[in-house]
Amino acid sequence: MASIIFSPKDIYEQDFKTSMRGYDKNEVDEFLDDVIKDYETYASQIAALRKENEKLKADAKKAAAQPASVTPSYGSDGLRTASVASAQASNIDLLKRVSRLEKEVFGKQLMD
């Protein structure tokens, strides 16, 4: 990642030489004031994003350290459903349910 060369203070303290056909000093100062505001905004946004990134990394570590929990509950149709913390556990539960249903439906046909 590229490093930042100028700080808002460096931009503010920059002094340009004047020449006969130079730029309007007031116009340059106004422009540099806007650049300083942008630098300050970018710096605060970067700090906030870094803080949020660290928080999300910590949350991800916590989530990875905790085992998947299954809380049994019953749906509106009276069948038992499971609230699963991880997608893997959810897939396993679904496969088990499908297997049981197949045995109920097709098991009788296989016996005949």
Q: What is the pLDDT of residues 8-19, one digit of tens each?
A: 888 888 887 777
d(CA 79, CA 102): 16
Quick one: which of 98, 68, 91, 93 has its CA closest to 82?
93
Average pLDDT, the chain: 77
Structure tokens that stand for 16 in this block: 């340009």
Query: Cβ(40)–Cβ(8) under 8 Å?
Result: yes
Residue carrying structure tokens 């002094």: 15
How much is the pTM? 0.46
Q: With a cut of 50, say whether residue 84 has pLDDT above it.
A: no
pLDDT tier, 109 (very low <50, low <70, confident <90, very high otherwise): low
pLDDT in tens, 41-70: 988 999 999 999 999 999 888 888 877 655
Token pair for 91: 């897939």
